[in-house]
Amino acid sequence: MAVHAHPDDESSKGAATYAHYTRQGAEVMVVSCTGGEAGDILNEGLAERAMAERDLPGLRRIEMARAQAVMGVQHRWLGYVDSGMAREDGSLPPASFASIPVEVSAEPLVRLVREFRPHVLVAYDENGGYPHPDHIQAHVVAMEAWRESGVAGSYPDAGEPWEISKLYFDRIFNGAKLRAVREHLVAGDAAPEMLEAVDEMLGWMGDRPDLATTHVHVADHFEARDRALLSHASQVAPDSSFFRWPRDLQQRAWPFEDFQLVESRVAAPDEEHDLFAGIVDDEQAAVA
C-alpha cells in the first residue's frame, strides 16, 4: 500500500515499482488522500482544457483512472479536499485535509489497511517529500495507520486489527541517482542544458544525506512510469522536467527506484532490493 497526497504523486514517486510488483503477481493499492482540487492546469497544450477549466477535479479523477490502468494497481480515494499551500498567515481552508485532526483523518486509512491487509506500507517522510501541507498530513496519517492498525481497541469501528510488516519512505529523488545520471551525461557528451539541470538539482539538494536502504531494479517499467505520468495530462506536459533525460540513459545510469526502510516487524537483510525481503507468507500472495 502506497499513501499519496494528490493524484499524480503516485506516478512521480514509485510508479515503476508499483508496476513491477503488479507484474510479479502482488496486489498493490495506491491511496490518494485528496482529489487535487486546489491544483492548477500545468500543461498549456492540454487537449481537455475545456473540461479542466469547467471541472478540474473531475478531470483529475479521470486521469487517475488512466494512470491506475497503466500501473495495474488498485486505487482508493480517502475523500479529503486538497488544502492547497498555506495562506500567508499560515491558515488552511476549513475542512481541508491538512486542517483535520489526525484522529479523524486517519480513520479511513486505518479502515482501508484492515480491509486490504498489506504487508508493506510506503509513505512520505516527516517533511512530506516537500513541505506542502497535504504531503505532511499524508505522512502523519500514514504513520498513525502504521502504529494503530494492528492494535486491538484502537479505532474500534474501523474493522479487525491488521499489523503491517514493513514501513518505507520513498526516496525516489536522491543525490546518488543524480550523480550517476550526471556521470552518464558527461560520458555521453550531453547538451549543456542537461548538465545544468542536473547540477541545479544537486545544488538544491545540498548536503542532504542519501537515506535509501532499498534499491528496487525496475528499469523495465520506466516506460510504464512515464505513461502513468502522462496520464495526468492536466499536471504533466510532454516537455515536463520529469522527461528531461532520455529514458535509456536513466535505465543505464540508475535502473532503480529507491526507498528507505524505516521500521520492520520482520527480520530483513541489511541490503535490500525487494520491498518484501524478510516477508514469508505461504498462504496468500504478497500484498503491498
The DSSP letter of residue 171 is -
pLDDT tens for 78-136 read 999 999 998 878 889 999 999 999 999 999 999 999 999 999 999 999 998 888 999 99
Annotated binding site: 6, 9, 135
pLDDT at 283 over 60: no
pLDDT at 281 over 70: no
Residue type, 4: H
φ and ψ of 164, to 5 deg:
-75, 145
86 plus 146 within the same structural domain: yes
Annotated binding site for Zn(2+): 6, 9, 135
Residue range(s) defining the domain that contains residue 128: 2-172+257-264
pLDDT tens for 39-56 read 999 999 999 999 999 999
Q: Tell me, what's the pLDDT at 280?
A: 58
Q: What does the pLDDT average to over 62-85?
A: 98
107 plus 180 within the same structural domain: no
- Those residues whose C-beta lies under 8 Å from the C-beta of residue 238, and which sit 6 or more positions away, are 45, 230
Taking the alpha carbons of 70, 73, 74, 75 in that order, is the dihedral positive or negative?
Answer: negative
Q: Tell me, what's the pLDDT at 129?
A: 83
Domain containing residue 28: CATH number: 3.40.50.10320
Query: What is the value of pTM for the model shown?
Result: 0.94
- More confident site: 169 or 85: 169
Please count the structural domains in the chain: 2
116 plus 6 within the same structural domain: yes
Out of 46-50, 253-257, 276-280, least confident range:
276-280
